Each structure stands twice: as C-alpha cells, then as structure tokens.
Amino acid sequence: MKNNCTPEATSALFKKHFGHTPTHVVAAPGRLEVLGNHTDYNHGLVMSVAVDRYIFIASSPRPDGRVELISSAFPAPEKFSVSDLKSNPAARWADYVKGVLAQLRRRGVLFGGFNAAIHSTLPLGAGLSSSAALEVATALAIRRLHPFTLTETGTAQPPQANPRGELPPVTPVERMHYARLCRAAENEFVGVPCGILDQVSSLCGRAWNVTSLDCQALTVDYAPLPGVVLVVCPSGVNHALIGGEYKELRDHCESAARKLGAKFLRTVELKQLQAARTALTDREFACAHHVVTEIARVVAAERALRADDLAQFGQYLFQSHESSRDFLKNSTAELDQLVELARQHPACLGARLTGGGFGGATLNLVVHHEAEVFMTHMATGYEKQTGRKLQPDLCQIVDGAR
C-alpha cells in the first residue's frame, strides 16, 4: 500500500490512454478519524488527520463538452456529457465525480468537457475515505481546468493565475465551501448520508497536526502530535456506508434529538439524556449516549493533547472504542480483537475503530521508536487468532489537498 502511485504515474496512465500529456495533476489525501465517532452529523466535535495516501487526478480540457474518465482501479472508461450527469450502475465509482460536477453546476461554475485519469494509493473500503478524496480531487481538478472561486452562496470572480500559470492556493474559508459542496455530492448524488468529517479532513489537514473540527460552527483548529505515530490495522472486513447500518445509526441519533427537544445531539447534556431515558427507545438512548459522551471525550482529549499528556489522550481512544462497541454497536469481532491485541502492547497508547465502523480498520497511537515491534506484534497476533493476514500500515500526517 506504499506510495508507488505518484503524480508521475498518474500522468503516465493518462498519456497511455489519451495519447498526450495532461495539463494538470491534483492530489487529495485520505483521512483518519482520530476521535469523535459518529459525532459529525450530530453537529459535534471530531479530531482527524489527513494521511499520506492519495487520490490523484490528471486532466486536460476537451472542446466537445464530453467527459472521459479512466481509473487504474476499474477496467472500463466512463464517458458522458457534462450536460447529462446520470449515475451508471456499471460504473458507480464515477458517481463521486459526477456528483461533484452536478454540485458545481448548481453553484454556477461554468466548465466544459475534459479527459481525466484517476489513480489511487488509498485502499478502497478500508476506512480511509477514498470517496471524499475523490470528490475533493475532482473539485480541485475542475478549478485548475476552469478557475472559479466558491462563496457561501455560489461563485465569485475567478482567481487570477500568476505569470507561471499557477493559481493562488484555495483560502481556508473557501476550503470549507468545498467541503460542503463535496459532502452534498455524496449525500445527494451517491446517496450516502455521511457528515462532513471526511471532506474537511482531506481539505483542511495540516502536516504533523491533529485537526479539530467543530461541525456546528464549521471551524477548524490544530494541535501538534509529537513523539507518536499512527498505525492503521485493516481488519480485512471491508465496510460499505451505502449499506443501511450507517443510516440507521443516523436515524436513531436524529429521532433521539427530536424527542429531547434538541435540533442536534450536540446541545444535549448527559444528565438531560439520562432524565429522559424512558422517552427514548433502547437504541435511541444507546446511540445518543455514545454521541453525548463522545463529544465530551473530544473536549477532554484536546485538553490532554495541549497539555502534552499523550498517555491520557490515548486512554480516550480506548474509551471511544468501548463506547462505539457497547452503545453505538458499530464495531465487529475483528475490530474488537485488533483493539484488544493493541492494548496488550506497552508501546500502544490508544486504539479504536476509525470511521463509519461495521468493518474497516483500527487506528493505533504508538510510541514513535516502537512502531516496528508493535506492527509485528499485531500481524502475528491477528493471524494467530483469526487466520487472517494483517498488514499494519504506518501513516504520516500531511497537509490537506493542494
């Protein structure tokens, strides 16, 4: 899973298929949710990082209003007209691109046809959010081809390129508009009712730092993560948010909030929730309990991180996993095994499932110089317990998409 796919490899893929060099190559990173499971769509708090696994898009404009997409992950190209953005059941992967194009059009961004080659170092379905990275890369590719400035309500005067033809960087405020646009693409075109965490992480991450996102105010803050590394352990059981479980959790949270007279669980206190126990179904109570305590954990964890107390910070990760497992119930036997194995190793400060759940991967916070031995411990232990091969992966924290 290491970076054998680079911008150069993406250009080469483009050239092989289209017969000429692309005019632009963009990259958008995947993300790891560090703490704050299923808090985003409840307008809560969440911590994440952008990681050094990317979706690359190489592109060139074409004059006939048509789009041709190729992907190194899928055999057949997908061809369509910019004025006819429909899902093709035989090429669902292209929905993320089409969804973003549809949102751009809705906001008045004018763009023509283009050819694009998509290449990825992000494992599909492992919980690193390849879908958000593809959405973000698509929006940035269109910005290169047909420059535009996004605003709260639509678009403004396009940015001017410098004499070398380079556009100014996307501003932090505009990045949040991009995140909303990409989330809307996923909600409306792809049909996944996700929150905004993945898109913000891919756009707003900062190298060496944890990003704290307030999903109500839509603001981000950063805190360095020194002396530790992040190790991802894919359980080998892939998740699919399109499956009904994610939506079911969201529905429970939303109906719990309604019954508590709140717009979102963000504003509910644990005492208030406990007092209203009998007004809620068991699942509503359990999901709300997770969300309310998880938001409190993010607040406490941020304090620990700023005080350089990584041991305490890690404890919140373990607690988060227990809450996801016992209350939200989005863990699996494999994820639980991975967390328990990690807990046995002294170099592991914290571990938890990361992302939507129901499969995917665990995130492990590991003392820097012990990463190697920790990864061997995990691979050997997991294979012994489950018969499954495990390839733990060390991720670097990187800047958001450029």
Which position among 13, 25, 29, 37 is part of the footprint of ligand GLA (CB under 6 A)?
37
List the structure tokens of 369: 């110089």
- Cβ atoms 208, 195 nearer than 8 A: no
Token pair for residue 141?
A: 């590719």
Please give the Cα distance from 388 to 32 (Å, whole number).
23
Binding residue (CB under 6 A) for ligand GLA from 78, 95, 174, 198: 198
Is 33 near ligand GLA (CB under 6 A)? yes
Catalytic-residue membership of 198: yes
Least Cβ distance, residue 144 to ligand GLA (angstroms): 26
Which residues have a Cβ under 8 Å from the Cβ of 271 and sit 6 or more positions away? none
Does the protein bind ligand GLA through residue 57 (CB under 6 A)?
A: no
> From CA 21, how far away is CA 254, in angstroms rounded?
49
Q: Does 360 bind ligand GLA (CB under 6 A)?
A: no
Min. distance of Cβ 250 from ligand GLA in angstroms? 8
x-marked contacts with ligand GLA along 237-276 as a string, rule CB under 6 A? ----x-----------------------------------
Using the minimum distance from each CB to ligand GLA, give the nearer residue, 203 or 367. 203
Binding window for ligand GLA (CB under 6 A); candidates: 36-44, 114-122, 228-236, 252-260: 36-44
Q: With respect to ligand GLA, which residue has the nearer C-beta, 109 or 126?
A: 126
In 189-271, the DSSP E strands lie at: 209-214, 219-224, 228-234
The 3-state DSSP class for residue 299 equals helix
- Count of Cβ atoms closer than 10 Å to residue 261 Cβ: 11
Contacts of 340 (CB under 8 A, 6+ apart): none
53 lies in the binding site for ligand GLA (CB under 6 A)? no
Residue the block writes with tokens 């093709």:
88
Query: Which positions touch ligand GLA (CB under 6 A)?
Result: 33, 37-38, 40-41, 129, 194-195, 197-198, 241, 355-356
Residues catalogued as catalytic:
198
